[in-house]
Amino acid sequence: MLLNIVIDFVMLIAMALVSISGFILEIVIPSRHAVKFQGVTPWSSQLLGLGRHDWGEIHLWAGIVLVILLTIHILLHINIVSAFVKKKCPNHILQILLYILFLMLLIMTIMPWLVYL
């Protein structure tokens, strides 16, 4: 129970960091390409002493933490997911197909992040 609360709280913080850093990267400190070719006006070159690349690192690592914690969160609640699937899809072949689809989505989500590890 305590583990679920800790994971959910850290996921909330990671989601907030991804959202805030994404906003900063898109609006507050846009790329040079956007400034030069799209006419975007940058508000500043730094925010809170961090440049665009620093905010990009925060965005990247908060996203990695979020994906890892989301995977752990789903695995901790796999019994609930299994009960839901069994109730909604009594056909065993359809259940297996749904689990394969879920596994494929999980692998496709994790694979790009393995480059950074």
Element (H, E) at 65: helix 52-76
Residues 85, 77: Cα–Cα separation, whole Å: 13
Cβ-contact 47, 30 below 8 angstroms: no
Write the pLDDT tens digit of every residue in 47-102. 777 777 888 889 989 998 998 898 899 889 888 888 887 888 888 888 888 888 98
Q: Are 109 and 74 in contact (CB under 8 A)?
A: no
Using the predicted structure, report yes or no on whether residue 117 has a pLDDT greater than 70.
no
- Residue at token pair 């394969």: 100
pLDDT at 55: 86
- The model scores a pTM over 0.95: no
Question: What share of the chain in percent tops pLDDT 90?
Answer: 20
